Structure 1
């Protein structure tokens, strides 16, 4: 097994280690954000799941949240209740099926997240700006494959 930085096993493993380090740092920032705003780290993951669902035009239901977070029903209800008490999430009736409850992240929660995570996101956006479309496609493909590798 070749161990070179330009694409051999060692170089590829270095990229995996860097991705893991990014994930660890992001997790630490999420925990800081949670602590600074009276939340549990799971609450922050729930907000991210709900925002991702909204971006994908996917119905954000308690069931979706339960599945994505790997929680049981009681745990999911607890997270939603906490986020609602804090004013970050609201429960709304699905206009197409009044029996179904949808979860919506309130604009104030989005603003709070942008204030905290915005500087890091802007730094990342700045590093992507000079890249070619082909380079961004390569990064997207790698990150998509990485996510799929860890998705059960």
Structure 2
């Protein structure tokens, strides 16, 4: 058996983790009558909230690479399900902002909370410097994938 490149081994583990998270997301979507794109939209909106980004329909469409009509249909569906709400921007009344409803957060925590708990427990076995190395590596991978997607 030949010796495997350690970096390539990381790629394989990262791919396996990505597949497992994708399957978990698909199970969440199916359980709640959502499309996988709906789940990605909710993730983007939650990330925007954490980052302090004011999410608009146009912004969300760019993140998901959807055209205007597709984005509107997706937001309408999420709003109808009580997962997202539209509101007017107080600074610019022409602009619509998107916010995740508490119901969506509760559904997410009920489903993904145990996995998040296990990941946090696994992280406890690592030193702070090791976790920082993992964070830097994953951030670099994320940037690499972003460059490949925009090429």
Is the structural similarity TM-score above 0.5?
A: yes
2:136 equivalent in structure 1: 141
The 2-side partners of 1:16 and 1:23 are apart by: 10
1-structure distance, mates of 2:23, 2:45: 20
* Consecutive unaligned residues in structure 1, runs of 5 or more: 5-9
How many angstroms does 1:130 deviate by?
3.0
Shift of 1:50: 0.1
Which of structure 1's runs of 4+ aligned residues deviate more than 6 A? none
Shift of 1:64: 1.2
Question: What's 1:113 paired with?
Answer: 108
Match of 2:98 among 94, 97, 103: 103
1:67 aligned onto 2:52: no
Listed as ranges, the gaps of 5+ residues in structure 2 are none
Task: Report the TM-score, using the length of structure 1 for normalisation.
Answer: 0.92
Counterpart check, 1:91 vs 2:86:
yes
Match of 2:31 in 1: 36
Instruction: Give the Cα separation in 1 of the matches to 2:18 and 2:133.
Output: 19
| 1:81 counterpart = 2:76 | yes
Deviations 1:110-132 (A, max 9, x none): 00000000000000011112322
Secondary structure, counterpart of 1:99 in structure 2: coil
Matched, 1:20 2:15: yes
Cα distance in 1 for residues equivalent to 2:90 and 2:3: 57
Q: CA RMSD in A?
A: 1.2
Structure 1 residue 3, shift from structure 2 partner? 3.6
What TM-score, normalized by structure 2, do the two folds share? Answer: 0.93
